[in-house]
Structure 1
């Protein structure tokens, strides 16, 4: 089945292009265009009063959609920011001990990697990084380190952005979390709306970071944080939006909301939340769940994986497939192939108007709702010719 009509605008702008980087920069559906236009119209129609609309309708709708997707007990635990890096800064600021002791991995995304290295340079953090390779015993090694260490923050990806490998032992980390530390932070950017994610059993113990740029199909600017009650109640880095609501704090001191709103920043462009709400509304109207979208992508992924294995996709057969699809719905929505020529392959495919992406020596092919079986057949033939 083809869902291309939902993406007619994006696909129509480059009709010859094959975009197989849905995991990196997902194309936007038509519903996001309509929502983007609505944001402009309502901002100018309501002018100074637009904030009543944004915080009375747009934000609560987005909170409810995130809570529904993650099966959270309350939408009030969800707060938004232009990017997830903002929340990393606020979480770090809320730890009273210096340097902050952090447990993480050597496979985290650049927003944490770079910031963590700079914190170390400045003496503001000590970071223990568990090697992601070999992945066979990674989870055991990471949990053992979490149990043994005196950490303030434990941060790990739900799905690793380079390899597509999945960490599926959140509950064991959540059992270690305490309001006084450690705080468990899950980077869910490659998991949110890529695979069904149910946080109901751990929502009272873990932070969860994600956003709209990838599988939520909403573009940049829609980062969010789920914040468990009682954890990091007073981040030092704080914006004036956190002054609104039911506040608590020391007499005469800075007051904070008790819900996720304690992590609010300051004035932002909320157009991304219009897009996010529009996309969620589109999916509901089409009766498509994350499981449905994933099943569609996995079918395409399986076809491509089989073709590579059969030698029909050129030199890709020489590469090591790091995350083969085995029918498990809890997985990344991309295939990651490791080979010394990965960067050259990506460049060759780009010349053929086929978009993939490379991380070090790994070329990744992402699959999504705007592709169909014919696109995969074209991709297989193009790989055979270009590689």
Structure 2
């Protein structure tokens, strides 16, 4: 038994709907199983809607606040605002619309960003933005490259804390933030693969004036439609892309034709009507995590132990003929919550494993194996053995 087995086996009975004890679910980096309490949240939503009808929103907002408080605790960030939306894409688009992109068209980013950011920036670059992509493979070179690109035409810097393909941790965020601060350029940090995996104190890291994108679909186990944009309370710019939920408290006031108003508080980047069932589901998961003692440090240790074990198993069993290798060789301290492998057959391997009921994930030549807190060492051994079985056939 490995040191992470005790917690994994204690958690598995709480995920009976997903049957995690008897399945090889290694898309924890993309979609983790939901604990059984999530279904109780869905049932509660139905009862509230039936009872409250159109006055259900206050209850939904209470559920959202439960999630916000969890994030404030995780990020050691009691003073940050957290805007909830259905996905990170609408949040980053609303945020970008705050800035003078016409006169300052440069946006600096990296070659390792997730599709929500990279696709949108690429499309904007085709039209009128000057998007500068800097290689993410060396943190030191990335830092120097960003510094070089910061000038009076730069509207924003947009980078990840943990890269979605390789799980490499960006170790220079504090220095990047300092450089942006010195030049007056806002910094957006995509932390979809950092939340609940690698602890981060916003205060200790000097990121109080930064913006952080957070998604609930992966390591938070909140499911779809629970994303957040963390922003500083001092932020007073008005998004051009905006919906009426950004001024929910003033809906009863006359539409005077004056400047568009925004509520004071978390929802500055909000859009419009959504299905609040996701908040009921997620709030139950938050309470479950707290009850199980799944603190940032506990989760960090669990992921590090699991990824380290997967890495050890892969190194011990890999052969040259398999044509598969690790995508990087950073120490475990600079690695997020999954093992990233590189192979020209990555998508074929993923498809062949899925045909056996084994869930992994592939992006181009990258195969990702993502455990979750409920993943045991035996399941790690089984997925690596099955990977090599399939690799040997190619």
- Give the counterpart of 1:185 among 185, 188, 192: 188
- Give the counterpart of 2:107 among 102, 105, 108: 102
Q: What are the equivalent positions in structure 2 for 1:68-79 lying under 5 Å apart?
A: 68-74=73-79, 77-79=81-83
Matched, 1:58 2:67: no
User: What do residues 80-103 of structure 1 show as CA deviations (whole Å, max 9, x unaligned)?
Assistant: 000010111111211124163200
Cα contact 2:66–2:286 (8 A) shared by 1: no
Cα contact 1:95–1:232 (8 A) shared by 2: no
For 2:277 and 2:145, the matched residues in 1 are separated by 38
For structure 1, the residue ranges without an aligned partner over 5 or more in a row are none
User: What do residues 148-202 of structure 1 show as CA deviations (whole Å, max 9, x unaligned)?
Assistant: 5741110000111111111122222322445994111000001111211211243
- Give the counterpart of 2:373 among 366, 369, 372: 369
Q: What are the equivalent positions in structure 2 for 1:235-314 lying under 5 Å apart?
A: 235-245=239-249, 252-311=258-317
SS state of the match for residue 161, structure 1? coil
Q: What are the equivalent positions in structure 2 for 1:1-387 lying under 5 Å apart?
A: 1=6, 2=9, 3-11=11-19, 17-55=23-61, 57-74=62-79, 77-98=81-102, 100-123=105-128, 125-133=129-137, 135=138, 137-147=140-150, 150-177=153-180, 181-201=184-204, 202-231=206-235, 233-245=237-249, 252-311=258-317, 318-324=323-329, 326-328=331-333, 331-387=335-391
User: What do residues 98-154 of structure 1 show as CA deviations (whole Å, max 9, x unaligned)?
Assistant: 16320001211111111112212222x211110224x36443334433545741110
For 1:61 and 1:128, the matched residues in 2 are separated by 38
SS state of the match for residue 341, structure 2? strand
SS state of the match for residue 156, structure 1? strand
Runs of 4+ in 1 over 6 A off after TM superposition: 314-317
How far the C-alpha of 1:354 sits from its partner, in A, is 1.2
Cα contact 1:336–1:363 (8 A) shared by 2: yes
Residues 290 and 16 (structure 1), Cα distance of their counterparts in 2 relative to 1, 3 Å cut? same
How far the C-alpha of 1:246 sits from its partner, in A, is 8.8
Question: Greater RCO between the two (CA within 8 Å, min separation 6)?
Answer: 2
Residues 96 and 304 (structure 1), Cα distance of their counterparts in 2 relative to 1, 3 Å cut? closer
SS state of the match for residue 113, structure 2? coil
For 1:203 and 1:102, the matched residues in 2 are separated by 19
Moved more, 172-181 or 151-160: 172-181
For 1:136 and 1:88, the matched residues in 2 are separated by 23
Q: Number of aligned pairs?
A: 377
User: What do residues 262-288 of structure 1 show as CA deviations (whole Å, max 9, x unaligned)?
Assistant: 212211112222222211111111112
Could you tell me which residue of structure 1 aligns to residue 3 of structure 2? Answer: none
Residues 246 and 176 (structure 1), Cα distance of their counterparts in 2 relative to 1, 3 Å cut? farther
Moved more, 157-166 or 260-269: 260-269
Cα contact 2:32–2:221 (8 A) shared by 1: yes
How far the C-alpha of 1:73 sits from its partner, in A, is 2.5
Cα contact 1:338–1:361 (8 A) shared by 2: yes
For 1:179 and 1:80, the matched residues in 2 are separated by 29
SS state of the match for residue 226, structure 1? strand
Cα contact 1:343–1:361 (8 A) shared by 2: yes
Cα contact 2:150–2:180 (8 A) shared by 1: no
SS state of the match for residue 118, structure 1? helix
